[in-house]
Structure 1
C-alpha cells in the first residue's frame, strides 16, 4: 500500500473500526499536511487520555464498592456450598442463644506468591472478603449482634491442617498463632481488624514484614477470630486461609513477570538481566519496555537480534521471544488508509502486527484475505 497520504487512526478494539483519523506510522511529517484532521485527532487523543486517567483513579474505589455489594447480595441468596457446612460427625460447638452454630470464613483466595513489603491482595487484585456463617444452614448471618462484630486478623503456622468441617477448639487455634521473631517487627502490619456489616467484612491493607522461611512448615496462613469483648459466651469458630509462602522482597525486585505486561521494563523478560549487558544494549537502541521490544520485533527482527549481539545464543533468543509473545496486548488498533477516499484501510495492533483490512465498511481478518488482497497490502 502507498505510504503517501496515509492517515493514522487509533481506536479501541471494542469500537467499530470505521472512524477516521490522521497521522503517519513513522511520525515523519506528512507530505500533504491536513491541519483540521490532525487537530481533531489530537483533541480525541486528549479526551481518551483524560478518560483513561479518570478511570484508573476510580477503579480501586469502584472495585471495592462493587465487590462489597456483590458479597452482600450473595450472602442473601443462600448457602456457600455443602462442603462448607458443618458435618454430622463434627465436634459439637457451643451454640448461640438461638441455636445457631457460628463460623467465620474467608471468601477470597489470596494472590500468590507473597513478598515482604508487598500488599496482600485477593486473586487478580480483588478485595479480600470474610463472612460469618450459620454452619447449620450455610447461610451468612445478616442480622443480630453477631453480624456486626469486630474481628482480629492473625498469622498462623502453615501446618495447621485441620479442615473446617472437622472443627477445632479455641485452644488448638491459638496454639498455631505465629509471633514475631525476637527483635523483629510484628510479622503482619496494616489493618489488623475488620468489622462485619450484615455478616460481611472487607479486609483493608495488610503487609508482611518477615518471610516464612524460618518456621517449621516454611509457610504461613492468615487466621481470623472474634475480637475480645464481642460474642461473650458464644463460640464462633475461627477461619483460616490456605497455606502460602512469603518470600523476601529482594526476590521481587528482580522477578520476571508471567506473563509480562506491555509497560514492564524490558529486563522483566527472560534472559534479560537487570542492568546487564543485554539490558544496556536494548536501552541504548530506545527499547525500554516490553511493548518497545515487541514493536521492534515486528518491524525488524533481524536488527533486534543483532542489537543483542553474539553473546546471546540461539536458545536464549528463542526463550526470550517465547516469553515476550505471552504478553497480553492492549486491544488498541491503528488504521492506515491508502488514499483520502478511505475506501480501503489496513489495520494493525499496538505492536504493529497486521490484523486485517477494512474495505467498504467491512472488516476482513488477515487469515481470510485473498491472494490479491494480500499482494495489495504487502
Structure 2
C-alpha cells in the first residue's frame, strides 16, 4: 500500500516538475520577440529625443539660475545691511560750459562765459565729487568725431569712446596743442590753454567734439567719459583775411569790402597814409575827389560811405 502511494507521489512530482519547466519555457521571450521589442524601443527613443532634450535643458537652466540667485543673495547678505557697499560707485565727467563759437585753429578754446571747465559728478546725486582721491584725478582732453553719440545715447562704452577719438592727419601735428592734461581740484578742472592745429573739414561729419577721460583708476569706482557738443573748426588763415561787419574805426582799411589785403588799392591807400577805417572815412569827408583818384573805384562805392 505504501509502495503504491509512493509511486503516485513520484508521478505527481514528475508532473509538477514538467509543468514548471513548460511554464518557464513559455515565460522566456523568443528571439524574434526580443528583436521586435528592441526595434520598438529604438523608434520611441527616436521620436522622444527631440521632445525630451529641450525639456531637460530648460530644467537644468532653471536649476542653475536658481542656484546662482541663491549664491548672490548669500554674498549680498554677507556684505552687511548696505547692499550698495558691494557695488561699484558710478561717477562721470561732465563739461560745465558750452564752447564759445566760432572756433579757429591756433585760437584758444573758450567757454561761453569763461574758461572751459570739466567736473567729476556722482551719477546718482548729480553733485560734484569734491572729496576723496578721485576728486584730484588726472584728466586727459581728446578730440572726438562730431557725430559720436554712442549706440545708446549717453550710455556709450569705453571702447566706443576710444574708437571715436580722432588722430592727426598723416604728416600733421597733433590735433591739440597746449596742455591736454589737467588735474581736478575738489572735483573741477580748467582747460587753461589749449587750441586746435587743424580744421575739421576732413572728418566724416566735418565737425569735432572735445572729450575728457580719467587717466587714473580707483578701486571700486567707475568713471564715464565726457564729451562736448559738436562744433566746426575753421582755419585761422580765413579769419586773418575776414571782413568785419560792421567794421570798427581802428580796423585796418583792408577789412572794408572790395579792398583786398596787399592788393593794388590797398597799396595806393597806404602811400596816401590811409591805413585804418578811420583814415578812410576822414579822407572821404575832407577830400572825396582825392579819395576817388586814389581808389579808382566807382563813385557809387565811395558815396555809400557818406
TM over 0.5: yes
Which of these residues, 267, 278, 291, is aligned with residue 265 of structure 2? 278
| RMSD (Å) for aligned C-alpha atoms | 3.2
Q: Counterparts of 2:99 and 2:105 in 1: how far apart (Å)?
A: 15
Give yes or no for the alignment of 1:210 onto 2:198.
yes
| Structure 2 unpaired stretches of 5+ | 1-83
Change (3 A) 1:307 1:214: same
Give yes or no for the alignment of 1:115 onto 2:85.
no
TM-score under structure 2 normalisation?
Answer: 0.62
Give yes or no for the alignment of 1:196 onto 2:184.
yes
Match of 1:311 in 2: 297
Per the TM alignment, residue 155 of structure 1 is displaced from its structure 2 partner at its CA by 0.6
Change (3 A) 1:295 1:194: farther
Q: Counterparts of 1:149 and 1:97 in 2: how far apart (Å)?
A: 23
Do 1:150 and 1:230's aligned partners in 2 also have CA atoms closer than 8 Å? no
Do 2:103 and 2:233's aligned partners in 1 also have CA atoms closer than 8 Å? yes
| Structure 1 unpaired stretches of 5+ | 1-94, 323-378
TM-score under structure 1 normalisation?
Answer: 0.51
Q: Counterparts of 2:230 and 2:303 in 1: how far apart (Å)?
A: 37
Do 1:271 and 1:316's aligned partners in 2 also have CA atoms closer than 8 Å? no
SS in 2 for 1:167: coil
Q: Give runs of aligned pairs for residues 1-378 of structure 1, distance below 5 A.
A: 101-123=90-112, 126-162=114-150, 166-227=154-215, 229-296=216-283, 299-300=285-286, 302=288, 306=292, 309-312=295-298, 314=300, 318=304, 321=305
Change (3 A) 1:217 1:269: same
Q: Counterparts of 1:216 and 1:255 in 2: how far apart (Å)?
A: 26
Per the TM alignment, residue 205 of structure 1 is displaced from its structure 2 partner at its CA by 1.6
Report which of the two structures shows the higher radius of gyration computed on alpha carbons. Answer: 2
Deviations, residues 29-86 of structure 1 (Å, cap 9, x unaligned): xxxxxxxxxxxxxxxxxxxxxxxxxxxxxxxxxxxxxxxxxxxxxxxxxxxxxxxxxx
Q: Counterparts of 2:303 and 2:227 in 1: how far apart (Å)?
A: 44
Do 1:100 and 1:136's aligned partners in 2 also have CA atoms closer than 8 Å? no
